[in-house]
Amino acid sequence: MSQIPLLCVFLFAFLSQSICLSKLTPKNHGSKIRGMFVFGSSILDNGNNNFLPNSLAKVNYSPYGADFPLGPTGRFTNGKNVIDVLGEKLRLPNYIPPFNDPSTNGSKILHGVDFASGGSGILDVTGSIAGNVISLNQQIRNFESATLPDFELQLGEKSTKIMSDFLFVVGSGGNDYSLNYFRANNNITLQDFTTNLTTTLSLQLKRLYDLGARKFVLMAINPNGCSPIATASFPTRDCVRILNKAFHMFNSNLKNLVDAIRPQMPGSNLVFVNTYKVIRDIIKSPSTKGFRDVNSACCEVGPTGVLCKRGGLICKNRSEYVFFDGLHPTEAVNYVIANKAFKSNLKSEVYPFNVKRLSEIYV
């Protein structure tokens, strides 16, 4: 008789764990990925800045989200961002929720959390011009101190056992140039600044590795020197070379980091997604890729020249525009980037292989 209660307890524990694990497993054939943890700046921000007081980098208003099912959510585009589209490709069951949303806890975090913050950078000092933003270091601390304990509470086991089933997407660095290096009066050379930036990022990636991350997707900096806010400052309509030179230098370092850092993180796999090249190719030959306007913002921009004017006008043919506001790409471009990231076989676009292959690797 005494064995029956023990058997019941065992069965209850087994079934409880099975239910938790079944919630974690999306129906994605071939993929080992159960979700994504996302770190970076506005390109990847799913709405974290909405909940930050005194932040100037908020887009929780119309016309942002004009083509998104949930309307304006804090995404810096008219519809889905790259993370949303990658989630579709991986067949994840829902959008990745923003960390700062008070409702992002419990079962809502089982397929990942988005920590990205518009206006932030790899360096802690970057983004102060945008008011209150969350640096990459703080994003990682939020993951460690809040999300991981909650995750373990949901699973009933150490999270490190299952972190290898998640993609860790990191996309930061652009603001470190635009809102830091090129705005400051410093004596450091562009090369030295870029080296320091890459070294700092490598330490941040190692910290994520120590917390259980094994599959990384590293996003390049976009060719922001071709954005409307950049070209508006110069008489020509060409891309601003000094800006793109900086971004290209960082991206080269980032690609090299994929090979350099892996031996220091046993069991890890990293993929570099060259969004710079993908967007640059569209700008060079837009008509062949279904685009028409590569120079103008689709929306009516405000005084800063970057963000859309609240309640302002927007273009009707948004799928033909590269830029939605003065800096950020449209949903149409985000689809091109995500599709390339997921299935391209060109090492100039994804290195050393694509996200689909990364998702199928068993660790």
Please check whether residue 88 is in contact with residue 170, taking contact to mean a CB–CB distance below 8 angstroms.
no
Using DSSP's 3-state secondary structure scheme, residue 186 falls into coil
Count the residues in the chain: 363
Q: Which of 101, 328, 344, 359 is catalytic?
A: 328
The verdict on whether 111 is a catalytic residue reads: no
Any bridge partners for residue 98, and if so which?
114
Please check whether residue 46 is in contact with residue 97, taking contact to mean a CB–CB distance below 8 angstroms.
yes
The verdict on whether 42 is a catalytic residue reads: yes
Residues 6 or more apart whose Cβ sits within 8 Å of residue 342: 86, 89, 354, 355, 356
Determine the Cα–Cα distance for residues 77 and 327; give it in Å rounded to an integer: 10
Please check whether residue 38 is in contact with residue 143, taking contact to mean a CB–CB distance below 8 angstroms.
no
Give me the amino acid identity at 98.
Answer: P
Determine the Cα–Cα distance for residues 81 and 59; give it in Å rounded to an integer: 13
The verdict on whether 285 is a catalytic residue reads: no
DSSP state of 261: H
Determine the Cα–Cα distance for residues 162 and 20; give it in Å rounded to an integer: 12
Determine the Cα–Cα distance for residues 182 and 361; give it in Å rounded to an integer: 40
Q: Which of 42, 55, 117, 178 is catalytic?
A: 42
Give me the amino acid identity at 303.
Answer: P
Listed residue (93, 84, 29) closest to 360, CA to CA: 29
Q: Which of 268, 325, 344, 359 is catalytic?
A: 325
> What is the token pair recorded at 103?
């409702």
Determine the Cα–Cα distance for residues 220 and 351; give it in Å rounded to an integer: 11
Please check whether residue 177 is in contact with residue 249, taking contact to mean a CB–CB distance below 8 angstroms.
no
Q: Which helix (H) or strand (E) holds 204?
A: helix 190-210
Asked if residue 63 has a cis previous peptide bond (ω within 30° of 0), the answer is yes
Determine the Cα–Cα distance for residues 115 and 184; give it in Å rounded to an integer: 27
Strand blocks (E) in 137-281: 166-171, 215-219, 269-273
Q: Which helix (H) or strand (E) holds 100?
A: none
Which residues are marked as active site? 42, 325, 328
